[in-house]
Amino acid sequence: MTLRSRFAAVIAGLWAGVLLCIALIATPAPFATLAMADAGRVVGRIFEQEAYLSLGVAMLLVFFDRAGRRETVIFKSGSVFGTNLMLIFGALFCTVAGYFAVQPMMAAARAGQGALSFGALHAISLGFFALKGLLVLALAWRLVGAAR
């Protein structure tokens, strides 16, 4: 396999690790040690950084996938839109919808505005994050298998 495919597998694995670390360690810790409002601000900052990191990593992986697909289509037959690209775009959608769309609605819900409650929006955001984690884990699994 090419160095590019191995690098993509490492990047996807690291991305999955970051998401698992955030879910299992980084977000519960502030709520165990800080006041609720302070913990919410810390976790909000963690998710902000994760969202921008996810955008960058997804774009990097799209670049690697497109370069590999271009070679596949030129030398063989096949589609330029494969399963790995769908997984990357799915994770990208979850990032945009979960953070950049739902997060502002959560701030409005805290202020008593909007149609949905803070709890409902929090559950939607959590669902997008969990789905993104599953998509990235599946992507890492596929890329590691392809790199062998």
Q: Is 103 helix (H, G, I), strand (E, B) or coil?
A: helix
Q: What is the pTM of this model?
A: 0.90
pLDDT tens string 16-74: 999 999 999 999 999 999 999 999 999 999 999 999 999 999 999 999 988 877 666 56
User: Which residues have a Cβ under 8 Å from the Cβ of 67 and sit 6 or more positions away?
Assistant: 4
- Contact of 93 with 124, CB cutoff 8 Å: no
pLDDT tens string 114-142: 889 999 999 999 999 999 999 999 999 99
Number of structural domains in the chain: 1
Q: Domain of residue 98: give its range.
A: 3-147
- Contact of 50 with 57, CB cutoff 8 Å: no
Q: Is 35 helix (H, G, I), strand (E, B) or coil?
A: coil
Type of residue found at 66: R
